[in-house]
Each structure stands twice: as structure tokens, then as C-alpha cells.
Amino acid sequence: MAAAPVWSVDPRTGKQREQVAVEATAEEVDDAVRAAHAARPALADRTVRAAFLRTAADLLEGAREQLVEAADAESALGPVRLTGELARTCYQLRAFADIVDEGAFLDVIINHPDDTATPPVPDLRRYKVPLGVVAVYSASNFPFAFSVAGGDTASALAAGCPVVVKAHPDHPALSELVAAVLRRAAARHDVPEGVIGLLHGFQAGVDLVKHPLIAAAGFTGSVRGGRALFDAAAARPVPIPFHGELGSLNPVVVTEAAAAERAEAIGAGLAGSMTLGVGQFCVKPGLVLAPAGAAGDRLLKSLTDAVSDTDAGVLLDHRMRDNFIAGVAERAELPEVETPVTPGAGSEHTVSPGFLTVPAHRLATEGEHDLLLEECFGPLTVVARYEDESEASAVLSRLPGNLTATVQLSTEEAAGEGRGAEILAELTPLAGRVLVNGWPTGVAVAPAQHHGGPYPATTSTSTSVGGTAVERWLRPVAYQNAPEALLPPELRDDNPLGLPRRFDGRLER
């Protein structure tokens, strides 16, 4: 049987643009993984790794015009958004190069023998080593930052792990272009092209996570698809770590005092956040707990005005459009659900933004309204009106894990008066990033960033954004009583590589 073709599709029209590739066979998956596995020694030198990452960033920038044009044709996200996302991707590659140069991620710890301790301490030297070949599953909504050259790939290469990427079907042409750029960067440093593998096709993604030479996987996508791959990773004869980002509701709590103080600003800010990128951000605020009463009414009016002034937009593909329209209709039919601005179909290829309202008590206990506690991908949010603080707390107690949770506080509450600290404590178990008086869309690439959260937001406790993302692709190993001459240079007493380390309990820079 001939392999199925892979087409590039224009989401603005639903029409096929060009055939890009064919779906990978099991043999081709095996070839890609084995080529990546063979490339591991070329990444052993940290100097080479750092230079490779910086060259990749330089070459991506050099191909900006071609890449942005291809990305826009397949995603309809627009040149401005995509140019910024490419810049973020290049920044991220260089940031990981800096991390590789510094070496702190190796977490070097040296303990010399201590016979006076109980029990005695032998000579112990610990650091972290690469896991091996990493499988990366691209996301649809960030064709640069969470795709072929995105954070999973950059952090895996920084750790010393070759990568095999399963391309997302929404941007196959762009995936091929970016992979070619990364391979050119590799060649400039005598790193085999196999260090970056690229595969197309659903079955190829399944075969990839099951391949015995795959040591770990990173995924960004749906709960259904991510959970299936997570289960496959755990069911292998040798289970592997699966770092999956699966979905998030990203709740927002607006206190009564905050609404009274600045209802109009909160409504406008919420509208901007939930419609940004046609609501296709993984950190879109999907549930808002807002007070009933006059202040809450003012907030809703502001939200209504701002959302009504927002144009319809194109989703990443027509399947997502169909799911969004069906999901909105199903939610809107629930008892006591109202639609101040009706979301749904725009023109033949677009969707219009909107929001739903519901009394918060409908979400405080299990029932048919639980559908409102599930993510609906697209420009939709649900505003649950609470009568008192206990009702809001009851809803929060029922929420699953999230990437973010946000609270809008008044000036006095932010200064420590009232329940601000209590609400923060309520939100902390729910999310990996807790915001005060801000909006969750926009994830800064910074050392302290955490982009993760309790299940189902992610399947692990790690982050996919920020410097500590590299930790996902490493494992610790300790040497006991190994002669100095046999130790890797990272663990020798004279520290020939000049690494940060903890030496007999003292932190050395």
C-alpha cells in the first residue's frame, strides 16, 4: 500500500496548498530514531552544543521572511504574531546556549569521605547526564515556539539529547523548512543531520513513542491525544518519562472589591486575553468567577462591549472550527446559561468570539454543568456569577489542574488587607503559575518561569518554558570511590571545566 500523502492546507479557505511529504512508515520511524541515536556522541561536547543552538537561531532569523510566509499560509495567525513568535523561538535557543555554557544545569555535587559521620560517608560525586533520544510532538497553535525548533527541541538539544519530531499536520510545510534550517546549523558544527529527525503521520507518532531507543517524550496538545501517548509510554517494556501538556481551563477569580474598583478595566482586559489569537492560547482564561450585583454587572457590560467589537477570526483548521461551534452550542443549551455575546460560526471559515454566563452554584456541585469546567478551544470564556465567597470557593474546590490561575484584587487587597492571601492559597494547588492583577496569556521566557501544572494541565511536574525545562531530559548519576583519573572532567577536584558546583557542602561559582 502506498504511503498516504501529507498536504499543506490553507485554514482561511480549507483548500489544499501542496503535497509536502508522505506519512512515515514503521521502517522510516526506525531509521530516524537510529540516526538520532547515532548522533549522540556529537552532542557530548558542551561547547559544540552551545554553538549549534546559537547557529540555529542565526539561521532561523536569516530565513525569517520565508518561514513567516509559510507559517501564515498554514496557520492564518498573521505575520505580526508569527514574526514575534519566531523571535521568541530564537531567543529561547540562545538562552539555552547560555545555560549550556554556564553548566549549572549539570548539578555537580562532590562529597569527600567523612569517617566521622554516622554512617560514614564515602567519596561521592554526582551530576546529570543526557537521557538519550527525545521524541517531540509539535503543537498546532505555536508553529514556531512549540514545534520543530521550539522549547522541547531546544531544551533537549541543550541537555545533549538528539530529537525526533512528529510534525503537526496543521503546518507540515513549515515543519520541513525549519527542520532543514536546524540540519544546516548542525552541519556547520560537524553534527550529523540525524540529530534532528522529522516524521509525518498519526501512526508514526504512535510508533515513535514505542520505539525502544526513545528515552523520553515531550507533547503539547489535547487531553485525548496526550493521554493516549502517555499511556503508551508507560506501557512500554521499559517505560519512559512523558512530559505532556494536555489542556487547561485557567480560572480567574475577581473579588467584589476589585470589581467595584475597576470593573471596566477588568472586563476589557478579560476580553483582550480570551480573544487573543482567536482564543487559541493554552493559557486562555476559560472560566471567570465574578461577583453578582452591581459591580459584576458593570464588568459584564465592559466585557460585552469589548468582545462585541472583536472581529471574527480563523481557527487553525476546520476540525477545530467544527469542534468549537459544537462545543459552544452544547454549553449554551444548559439550564440557566446565557449568552450576552453569542459565540460560534462567523463566515464559512471563521468563528466569532463570545462568552457565556451561569450562576456559580450550578458549578459548585457535580452535575450536567460540569461541561463548563472543560476547556473549549477557541474564543470563548464562561463567567460564573457568585453570590458570596463560599460559593466561589466551592467552585474552585472542584477544578482540575491548570497551567495558570489568576486573581484580580483591589488596591487594598493587594496591599495585604482582606482575603487576598487566602485566595492565593486557594489557587496555588490548582496551577503551576498564579497571577495577581494580570492576565495569563503571554508566557515570558525567563529562568523563573514555570509553564506546567497539576494533571490534566501536564503529566509531570516539570516546565516546558524557561531554563529549568532542560531538567526533563537529564538523569542523575553518582560515582562512589571512583579514582580521580577515571572520573569525567565535570567531577574532578580541580574542576578543569570551571563549573558551578557544591563541593563538600560549599556552593562554588
Measured over the CA atoms of residue 40, residue 41, residue 44 and residue 49, the dihedral's sign is: negative
| pLDDT, position 3 | 81
Instruction: Compute the distance between CA of residue 2 and CA of residue 201 in angstroms, rounded to an integer.
Output: 13
**What does pLDDT average to over the chain?**
97
Q: Exactly one of 28, 74, 85, 245 is catalytic; which is it?
A: 245
For residue range 227-253, what is the model confidence (pLDDT) as tens digits? 999 999 999 999 999 999 999 999 999
pLDDT digits (tens, 9 = 90+) for 326-364: 999 999 999 999 999 999 998 889 999 999 999 999 999
- In the chain, CATH 3.40.309.10 covers 251-436
Split at pLDDT 50, 70, 90, the class of 509 is confident
Which is the catalytic residue, given 282, 376, 426, 490? Answer: 282
Q: What is the pLDDT of residues 176-232, one digit of tens each?
A: 999 999 999 999 999 999 999 999 999 999 999 999 999 999 999 999 999 999 999
Dihedral sign, Cα of residue 163, residue 132, residue 282, residue 90: negative
What are the start and end residues of each CATH 3.40.605.10 domain in the chain? 24-105+130-246+461-473
For residues 246 and 222, the answer to whether their CB atoms sit within 8 Å is yes
> Which superfamily does 24-105+130-246+461-473 belong to?
Aldehyde Dehydrogenase; Chain A, domain 1 (3.40.605.10)
Helix axes 256-275, 294-308, angle to 10 degrees: 20
3-state SS, residue 220:
strand
Catalytic status, residue 348: no
Model confidence at 2: pLDDT above 80? no
Q: What is the chain's length?
A: 509
282 classed as catalytic: yes
Specify the pLDDT at position 237.
97
Q: What is the pLDDT of residue 346?
A: 85
pLDDT in tens, 462-478: 999 999 999 999 999 99
Q: Which of 72, 66, 96 is nearest to 160 (CA)?
A: 96
Residue whose cell numbers read 470564556: 381
**251-436: CATH architecture:** 3-Layer(aba) Sandwich (3.40)
94 pLDDT above the threshold of 80? yes
Whether 383 has a pLDDT exceeding 80, the answer reads: yes
Do you find a cis peptide bond into 237, omega within 30 degrees of 0? no
The DSSP secondary structure of 13-36, one letter per residue, reads TTEEEEEEEEPPPHHHHHHHHHHH
Give CA 137 to chain center in angstroms.
11
With a cut of 70, say whether residue 1 has pLDDT above it. no
Mean local confidence (pLDDT), 254-279: 98
Banded pLDDT at 493 (limits 50, 70, 90): very high
